[in-house]
Structure 1
Amino acid sequence: MAAALNWVIKDGLGQLGGVLFASYLGTSQAFDSNPKKWRFVSSLSMDASTLMEVCSPLLPGYFLLIASVANVGKNIAYLSASASRAALHNSLALSGNLADVTAKAGSQTILASMLGTGVGCLVSPIIGTEWVNVAAGFTVCSVGHLGACWWSLKGVALKTVNKERGGIIVSNFLSSGSVPGPDVVARLEPFTPFGPKPAPWLRVGCDLPTMTKSLAALKDMMEETGGEDWIIKVGDGGEVRIAYMKGVKGEDIVRSMLHGFIVKDLVDKGKGEDEHLIRER
């Protein structure tokens, strides 16, 4: 009964953690705006959870805690992968053939699983049951898994523009005068949870309280943007914030990001100058 109860607690906590994770991110539409990032996070979460399970024999007294946390990570990985996979498949459905793309991706997954099972059966007798050998084998597989995931995501050109892709488009336009295509943006887009991000000083989609709490200041900002569907503000530390009116179009969002880049350039060049002069520029 105690063993059965431990397994029920472990599985229950894992499923609850996955549900809480999905409900938290579902409100921000993060899976739709950056599916590559969350697909890679899914792979990281799966490998980290598996590593915890591999290490659990070293701490038998904490098995329930380690197994529960690992199960939470696995559920997060499953949910992140399934949610982001839908957006990635949609970008590959060039002629509305989403069902066909999903079926082919599913068949590839089954084939990879079969090949992995076969390789595992062949390699397991060689590795044995020694923890050091198991950890070494896991490390090799994990590096291969993450490398293949990263390489495959680099080749997916998404149809939508988020802050990262918009930043790449605008910065390339300002530096070269040309707009990069989706394939170029896909190669330049950062989607790992670590590393430098394009335009970390730019915040898009801000709510009004973060822009101003004064109606007079709000009116001034609306006049400064010349009747556009957005307002822009330079915050402390040179942070540029952009808020949008209801019903703003995608092309207006890209134009607002261009506006933000130009404002940031003027602010950096005009540090120490009068704020009114920078606004006039």
Structure 2
Amino acid sequence: MPFALQPSFPIFKFNATPKHTTTTRVQFVCNSSSNQTNSGDSHYKSDGSRHQVVLVERYLNGTSKRYLLDDEFHLTTILEDESKSNGYSLKELPWLPDIVKDFVLPAGFPGSVSEDYLEYMLLQFPTNVTAWICHTLVTSSLLKAVGLDYSSGTTAAASAAAIRWVSKDGIGAVGRFFIGGRFGNLFDDDPKQWRMYADFIGSAGSIFDLCTPLYPAYFLPLASLGNLAKAVARGLKDPSFRVIQNHFAVSGNLGDVAAKEEVWEVSAQLIGLGLGILVLSTPGLVRSYPVLASTWMTVRLLHLWLRYQSLSALQFDTVNLKRARILVNLHVSNSTVLGCEECNKMENILSWEKFSVPRIVFGVSFSDMLGGDRSGLKVKKLLELYAKEKYILVVNQEPFKDFETLVSFKDGATSLSVLRSIWQAYWLYNNRSSQDNLFDQLKASLNELDHQFDNFLQQLKDIGWDINQISLKVANDVLIKEVPVY
């Protein structure tokens, strides 16, 4: 989500979600001199006064918002349609709607993937289509083998049963389709959380299967719902575990790690199946549904507890949003940082970012950052104050609202820029005062940031953190990456 500027000002990049659109690509055009008279930067009113363009926010839906200042520093905005603007390379698929592109392609495409990615996926798609056609045809053969014989006049019944069975699988596949398209860029940042959530959702899906003996007439809808939930769980589990496997493969041996994981998993599967058969062979268990259900519940709760313990044992040396909060909070308070093992143990696997304190809202539109004070003087002060930073941060001053900081990012911002904004937010939170002027607080926090942030990074490096792998996903889960300025 980029933002671009005139040559006299740095280029700003916002990841914003203004009220008039759902997804944004924001560019800032800032002019440092009010004497510039480029036709694209100035607008004149009938009384001869000039409106100077200071900011431009461009959104993925093709619209843009221009922020203009007049000679008396009054701020006005203009909403324009730039959907017909060009400037995209053919590799960016300009003909494909953004909503489709975001759903089927990785974030940052084409720069975030190798050049052979698109050709491979275009060939892989019909390959998978033919595989599922074969699966559908084979399913009817399996049903025939269990008693639905075509020669005995039950061809229609076999076909209908096959269609119902495949439909059940298809409904489940919808869950994986939705997860992969909508949440595909979440897993790199916090694989522990999503792997745990996968087990919770999978457990819910098993409950539907467990209820089928109680309501046999509703077998298809119950089994379909169970498949849907378990497919969603698989959509969360597989990409999360691939990230975890990549963490294990410290010598580039990802294939070997994955192969040996199969050995562990199959061994566990065989033992589990054997114990399951042994449990089912227990007299009276199969005939007593309450006993069967309570046994399943006990084993499932044990499974969830063991999953949580296994994920808690992971020790990532990369900095994600949760670990960044823990590390920054300690450094701002005591000028020290935690090691990888201690920080990973403190990380709450199940927590959501929205409930973290202090609350930091990333990717806010500039209009929302200004709040009720829409004066051009405030715009000018903010741009001057953050001239050296790749982001802009303000404290939300709405009455009766808990402490909250709002952050927008400039063009060229990286995950390191996000980390700097988090450090500043925590300093403001720990040193907040209702009596100080907002700009005085921001200026003081930026001075502290300049003096202490390098020490923070050095401590992270000395204690074993990989500061070259800072992965902070913000603003609608968009990873801020370096963007070349042309």
Q: TM-score range by the shorter chain?
A: 0.7 to 0.9
Instruction: State how 1:189-204 maps to structure 2 within 5 Å.
Output: 189-192=347-350, 197-199=355-357, 201-204=359-362
Given candidates 218, 225, 234, the residue that maps to 1:78 is: 234
For 2:270, the equivalent position in structure 1 comes to 114
- The TM-score, its normalising length taken from structure 1, stands at 0.87
Whether the aligned pair in 2 keeps the contact of 1:206 and 1:243 (CA below 8 Å) is yes
Q: In terms of mean alpha carbon deviation, does 135-144 or 239-248 score higher?
A: 239-248
Deviation at 1:21, TM superposition (A): 2.1
Deviation at 1:211, TM superposition (A): 3.5
- Aligned identity (percent) is 27
Provide the C-alpha distance between the structure 2 equivalents of 1:241 and 1:68, rounded to a whole number of angstroms.
43
Instruction: State how 1:220-259 maps to structure 2 within 5 Å.
Output: 220-235=381-396, 236=398, 237=401, 238-259=403-424
| Secondary structure at 1:141 match in 2 | helix
Identify unmatched segments of 5+ residues in structure 1: none
For 1:24, the equivalent position in structure 2 comes to 182
For 1:66, the equivalent position in structure 2 comes to 222
Evaluate the alpha carbon distance shift between residue 89 and residue 13 of structure 1 in structure 2; reply closer, same or farther with a 3 A threshold: same
Listed one character per residue, the Cα deviations across residues 13-38 of structure 1 (whole Å, up to 9, x for unaligned) are 11122201221112xx1111111111
Evaluate the alpha carbon distance shift between residue 96 and residue 224 of structure 1 in structure 2; reply closer, same or farther with a 3 A threshold: same
Identify unmatched segments of 5+ residues in structure 2: 1-156, 445-486
For 1:171, the equivalent position in structure 2 comes to 329
Whether the aligned pair in 2 keeps the contact of 1:222 and 1:228 (CA below 8 Å) is no
For 1:135, the equivalent position in structure 2 comes to 293
Provide the C-alpha distance between the structure 1 equivalents of 2:406 and 2:392, rounded to a whole number of angstroms.
8
Provide the C-alpha distance between the structure 2 equivalents of 1:193 and 1:10, rounded to a whole number of angstroms.
33
For 1:181, the equivalent position in structure 2 comes to 339
Whether the aligned pair in 2 keeps the contact of 1:163 and 1:204 (CA below 8 Å) is no
Evaluate the alpha carbon distance shift between residue 222 and residue 86 of structure 1 in structure 2; reply closer, same or farther with a 3 A threshold: farther
Provide the C-alpha distance between the structure 2 equivalents of 1:211 and 1:90, rounded to a whole number of angstroms.
39
> Partner amino acid for 1:52?
F
Evaluate the alpha carbon distance shift between residue 278 and residue 101 of structure 1 in structure 2; reply closer, same or farther with a 3 A threshold: same
| Secondary structure at 2:212 match in 1 | helix
For 2:88, the equivalent position in structure 1 comes to none
Provide the C-alpha distance between the structure 1 equivalents of 2:353 and 2:276, rounded to a whole number of angstroms.
33
Provide the C-alpha distance between the structure 2 equivalents of 1:11 and 1:200, rounded to a whole number of angstroms.
44
The alignment's C-alpha RMSD in Å is 2.6
Deviation at 1:128, TM superposition (A): 2.1
- The TM-score, its normalising length taken from structure 2, stands at 0.52
Provide the C-alpha distance between the structure 2 equivalents of 1:160 and 1:209, rounded to a whole number of angstroms.
34
> Partner amino acid for 1:278?
Q
> Partner amino acid for 1:47?
S
Provide the C-alpha distance between the structure 1 equivalents of 2:435 and 2:223, rounded to a whole number of angstroms.
56
Q: How many residues align?
A: 277
* Greater per-residue strand proportion: 2
Evaluate the alpha carbon distance shift between residue 170 and residue 155 of structure 1 in structure 2; reply closer, same or farther with a 3 A threshold: same
Instruction: Tell whether 2:431 aligns with 1:266.
Output: yes
